[in-house]
Structure 1
Amino acid sequence: MTNLAIIASHPIQYYAPLFRCLAEDCNFNIKVFYLWDFGITNQIDPGFKQSLKWDIPLLDGYDFEFVPNISKNRGTHHIFGLQNPNLTQQVLTFQPDAILLTVSYNYASMYSFIWQMRNINIPMIFRGDSHRIQAKNNFKSQIKKLFIAKIFENFDACLYVGKANYEYFKYHSVLESKLFFAPHAIDNKRFSAMTNEISSQAKNWKQELGIPTKNMVILFAGKFEDKKRPLDLIQAFINAQLKSVSLLLVGAGNLDSEMRDLSKHHKQIYFAPFQNQSLMPRTYASSDVFVLPSYGSDETWGLAINEAMCMGCPVIVSSHVGCAADLVKHRKNGLIFEAGNVEDLTASLKEALADHYRLKRWGEESKIIVRDYCYDRIISGLKEALAAICKK
């Protein structure tokens, strides 16, 4: 049995079920070391601009401990938001056979931890999701490339979540022999267990929102912030002039007033507040197609796409969304449009909504594709990495 220490920034709804699966696996004895308590206490989310606490269990079914964070401005939005001077001591007290980092190295605590572990003979594995889809090639980027490559030299293996992330690691000189596939995944079982009850809840919710029963629904769910480009979607929907189609925008954020102002003269645009995790299956079940129009390098994957696909949604994503190359098969389960191009997004909306029956087929294909992006596959990749490390 492998004593596996896992370092995570904070309890995350996508990781907690994975940790439970690892705890149930007889090959592992795990302990998760959290660097921040966001998600289990009411705290302001910078993206949603409101107090947030997840309504599903995030700490059940596995061993964990919190490492005291002395930062005066705790969080993952800046390098000094995670400052945990006791991290190395607490991890070593667990006597791990291996250490898995699921948190970015780009925090004060992680730089300190990596430096302190450099002469300690415990293999370390890094799992990240960065990509270079919108990369710049200049002097500054070359210096950054060398710096990141030096960081990755400290790891015995790296787990990549998809094609774009694989290319990111390769660009930073990580050997192919050190790379193992461990895809981004969500709790597929919870989201795919769609029942008649959820369908009924979705129907009732749409009625409460005032969406006409006969209308098809385009859904955006997430933070109302610049990188998600909800304004692009609103403008594209207005331009498309689709008949018997509504646009539903679910979430909150600093673009809220601007989005409502752009939408105020258009009757078929609807807003709903932030929906906690227990309500997300109903949210996706309310739609006919899910859209993620993000722009820039910050949309490293887009796990909302996994969730939507589990619920049988066809998807439309921008070319900057990290999961596009893995999960979106153009004209098979959705469409990929040029990021930031409102005309291209408008055309995609028109194409997708032109054939209701084809859209249904795309949704069925989504469910098939996303099956392989599951926790079992992550654990398999982790085991492959550990086996390779043990051979050294």
Structure 2
Amino acid sequence: MWTALFKQMLGKMIQRGQLEINLADGQKCAFGDGSGEVVSLTFHDPALPRKIIQNPDLAVGEAYTDGRLTIANDDLYGFVALAIRNIARNSGRFANSTIWWQRPLVGIRKSLRRLQQRNILGRAQENVAHHYDLSEDLYRLFLDEDLQYSCGYFRTPDDSLEMAQVQKKAHIAAKLDLSPEQRVLDIGCGWGGMALTLARDYGVNVVGVTLSREQHRVACQRAKDMGLDGQVEFRLMDYRDLDEPFDRIVSVGMFEHVGVPHYGEYFAKIRKLLVSDGIALVHTIGRAGPPNATSKWILKYIFPGGYVPAMSEALTAIENENLITTDIEIWRLHYAETIRHWREQFEANIDAATHMYDADFCRMWRYYLAISEASFRNDRQVVFQFQLSKDLNSLPITRDYLYDRVS
């Protein structure tokens, strides 16, 4: 029964391309319209069709990670890109690519998403530690020299990863409209690259906050090594515990960890901490479609408590907290290119990563990077930048000042 249902599900889902599957019992099946390069999978677990029917993204990710699913020529990216292109073909709505018995499961997953995003103080630190307290050496295998773990800004297709991250920081700095001696808060400061760049290049004083002990350790050491420890202060704390004024607030790649139940709390804190003519810039992965739910595999193995917001969810919270949205920018495909560089560099350094951790961990991270790139390239994943203020007069009335500063 399970094999027949599995074939029915894949027959409905895979309409374009070529997917061949060699089942554990020796059966072979093919799906798609015959276009493009064939992607061939082999199942080594006879229970895998049932598990995929019950929970597709979790079952496939786990099976690839532990070797119960292998791919011809190890073409992982080719496989996940084929799957995501087909799942996304109906305006990115996964429910339209399912069949009748799966729809209740999709509905349940959506209904549970607010519970999964209850990132109260203790849980928030645990969630951060799961991903960001991994070794600094691991991240240095695939990130740029400044350890920017967020979307770069590719002004041309030939830009290197290093250049794209420099341009990202300059673009954000322009949107903050900085002046020397201003106090800047960096919410979710990572390994300190943004804070250190703003202090060094723009003469501002920065407080960076993170819940990751490893990131805090690295950021503090970097500030000391650069002679900026008197100008940049990194604190191991939750942004919700802050209670002091700032001229500017920047938050890059952190809003994805806030959770919908805490959006009001997040923007209320930004409003409270900003001075009357202050400016905030929130840079986040976004969903160019209606609200949805986070992949169970991502929640379990990569970003516990994580969620990619729809614009409607973020803007509703911004409006409810009486902040003025002074600018919105949407970056398309920039993150796909960023993650392509990360994925290629991680794979080039796979032996070193395996030595640090193990083969299963490396397959898990290869899968994470592959599905992330494929989602930004083939589905409705984008990046939102929200520029916010409390006063209509805080910024110039045209966007010319942005490009004057970054040209």
Give the TM-score normalised by structure 2: 0.28
Q: Which has the higher contact order (CA 8 A, sep 6+)?
A: 2
Give the TM-score normalised by structure 1: 0.29
Q: Which has the higher helix share?
A: 2
